Every structure is written in structure tokens, then in C-alpha cells.
Amino acid sequence: MAWDFETDPQFQQELDWIDEFVRSEVEPLRYVIESAYDTRNATRNKLIRPLQDIVRKRQLWACHLGPELGGQGYGQVKLALMNEILGRVPGIAPIVFGCQAPDSGNAEILAHYGTAAQKARYLRPLLDNEIVSCFSMTEPQGGADPKVFRTAARLEDGHWVINGEKWFSSNARYAAFLIVMAVTDPDAPPYKRMSMFIVPAETPGLEIIRNLGYSAERAPSHGYLRYNNVRVPADHMLGGRGEAFAVAQTRLGGGRIHHAMRTIGEARRALDMMCERALSRETQGERLSQKQMVQEKIADSWMELEQFRLLVLRTAWRIDKYKDYLKVRKDISAVKALMPRVLHDIAARALHIHGSLGISTEMPFAEMVLDSFHMGLADGPTEVHKITVARQLLRDYRPSNDIFPSYHVPALRAQAFERYGDLIEDVA
């Protein structure tokens, strides 16, 4: 029997340390740092670098990476338990622990597909958070449908020349390099048309039209970019020609589950606040916590969060077991599709229980609710992931040959009578 819902005591000590460190040292930074991704900002570096050193000394740096890349080679289950603590302070705590998106995924691609020269120039400083990076795929006319992408690269005198527009290229303004998807083979089948390129940020022709922001983001950072005859040497292609989607999948499997792990922490923070408020606020002669409709909100939130957490942990366990993202595609898609709903519903209830204060910019709930929509779009829209879950499930079923389904009661009863008829003479 190997079903075990306990963390081993040694690792629990590490988790307790991380929890305390995040609450006391990292959480306050959310009020003083504009963007933890801005590695050129002196104030940011003064505040974040010493914390990163502490994490390194504690051997908790970049735990998602194998030891050959300077990480701890934690499996996904350990990462899940750790990431759900880091999720309390999205955008900052992962940077302090060296595992932030999109850099973690971009590092994964570089480690898998990069040449020795690419690794030396981009991977090492990326892993050390000396620089940050950007993943530039989505275009104004669509993000989830490869057939609509127009940004193209053509080969010219040993260089690839890239032209087109991308948007929602997060952190483009801070990035030292961008990983860009561009059409190189327009007549190939949809998933073979595009290739992946490394574009150094200083390459002439790379223009930031503007930075899009959402909600209470202090520094709008989702770049609307134009590539105007951007030339990169031929060896800046990452992976094979026409293989951009295969390469992208390498980063998305891990990326999606890590987002889900962090979302547990964000939703738990909303639940903590909801409970504190319910116990503190009195209206019409009793505390909110004594009102059954408030109790229902708290109970629903806890149950949904625990269900989600168990699915995330089980998915993490299956990734560790099979070490093959294709085998856990359904699980990852299910987690990805559930994630926005869990965060949305819990944050919306927390917002509501806080009354007018809840919708104000003095509380984090409106931002969390909006963040849930972000989660439902980025890394594949919810609808697409639900389609994946359904298709994979349906593979295990066969159509019935009859107009009646295979579990139609009269047919089953007739079969049962045929089998047991001799033994049950008395039954009419």
C-alpha cells in the first residue's frame, strides 16, 4: 500500500523554513518593488539579491533543475509543496527562489535544444538570474491558433530575417533575449510551419510599440512588439526547422503544472483572509462567521481548494512516475482548466465577504479575480484544455453497436438471467 498523504519530517522542516522566510522577508517586498523582473533596477537588486543568496546557501535555489544545471533536481511532488508556499507572493517569491516563469520554461528549452554556444551565452546567466527572458509567441490576431500566426522568418545570407508583430510578450521590456516563434515553412502542415529563434534584445529592428498592463500591475510589462527586419545569425534557431510547437511543448508541460502549484498558495491566501474577516466582522448582532451563508462560502472554498490541491499533487506524482509529459497530458490539462475557476471562485467570495473594502485597491481580491482570467487564457485557453481532457477520456470507450447503450438495463438483466438462471428459479 503506497497511498501516503504525509510529507516526510525532514522535508517538512524545509517547507516550514520557506514558509517563514516568504512571510517575513519576501512578502513585504510586494509593497516596495515595482517589478522583480527588472534586473537593471538598483533598488530591486539591493532588496532581492541578498535574499537570493540566503536561498542559495540553504540549497533551495532553482529546485526544478537538475544538479547539472545548479538545481536540486526535486521531483514535481516536492516542487508542488514548495511552490504552493511561493504562490503567496506571485511575481516575487519565485524570483527569490530562482524558479520564475517564463524564465524557468525558457531555460528548459535552452537546456534541451540549445547549442553549447547558446547555453554559455544565455542559459548560465538566466539560471543565475543575472538576466531575464521573454517568450514571444502570441500575435494580435490570435494566440491559441497556430494557423493565424503571421510573423515570418526568411533565410538571407546566412541570417534569419524576422518580420511581424507579437503581443503579450511578457517582460520583453526587461529581457536580455527573446524566444520568438516565426513561420519559416508556410506551406507545411499547421504544426510544422513555425520555428523558434533566440533574438538578443539589442538586435536592431526590435521595437516595443507599447507595454500592455492589466489590473493593479504597477509596471505594465506585456510587450506589444514589432519585428522590423530583425536579423539573427542562422545558428540562433532553437531546435529544428519547423519544430517550434514540439519545442514549445517542452516548456508548457512543466510551466502549466508549476502555475497550478503556485495558484494553490494564492487561493489559500484569499481563504485565510476570508476566515479572518468572517471571525472579525459583526453585523446585525452576530459575527459573519455565525451566518450560515458565510459558513457555506468558507466551506465551499476549503473543499474546492483541497480537491484542486489533491489533483495537482496527484498530477505531480504521475509526472515523477512516468517522466513523460505525453502520458500525463490529460492530468495537466485538467489541472490547467480547473485552476482559473478555483482561484476565481475563492477570491470572489473573499472579495464579497470584505464588503466595499473587498473591491477596493487596498485589498488584493480584484487583482486575484482578474489574475484568474489571465490563467484561463495564457498557456492555452480553458476550452482547449477541456477538449484535451474529453478527447483523452473518450479514447478509453467504444461505441455501442446497438441503438441501446451497452449498460441498458433490460439487456443486462437478460444476460444475468442467462448466466444465473439455474440458481435463481424463484425470481420472477
Q: How far is the CB of 42 from ligand FAD (least distance, A)?
A: 25
Q: How far is the CB of 129 from ligand FAD (least distance, A)?
A: 18
Identity of the residue, 275 or 377, whose beta carbon is nearer to ligand FAD in the bound complex: 377
Q: How far is the CB of 360 from ligand FAD (least distance, A)?
A: 22
Identity of the residue, 169 or 301, whose beta carbon is nearer to ligand FAD in the bound complex: 169
Q: How far is the CB of 60 from ligand FAD (least distance, A)?
A: 26
Residue numbers at the binding site for ligand FAD (CB under 6 A): 102, 135-138, 142-144, 168-170, 214, 222, 374, 377-378, 381-384
What values do phi and psi take at 266, rounded to 5? -70, -45
Q: How far is the CB of 177 from ligand FAD (least distance, A)?
A: 14
What is the number of the residue whose Cβ is closest to ligand FAD?
Answer: 143
Q: How far is the CB of 179 from ligand FAD (least distance, A)?
A: 9
Identity of the residue, 90 or 289, whose beta carbon is nearer to ligand FAD in the bound complex: 90
Q: How far is the CB of 184 from ligand FAD (least distance, A)?
A: 17
Cα–Cα distance measured from residue 133 to residue 47, given in angstroms and rounded to the nearest whole number: 20
Q: How far is the CB of 103 from ligand FAD (least distance, A)?
A: 11
Identity of the residue, 111 or 384, whose beta carbon is nearer to ligand FAD in the bound complex: 384
Identity of the residue, 165 or 276, whose beta carbon is nearer to ligand FAD in the bound complex: 165
Identity of the residue, 30 or 56, whose beta carbon is nearer to ligand FAD in the bound complex: 30
Identity of the residue, 224 or 317, whose beta carbon is nearer to ligand FAD in the bound complex: 224
Identity of the residue, 138 or 301, whose beta carbon is nearer to ligand FAD in the bound complex: 138
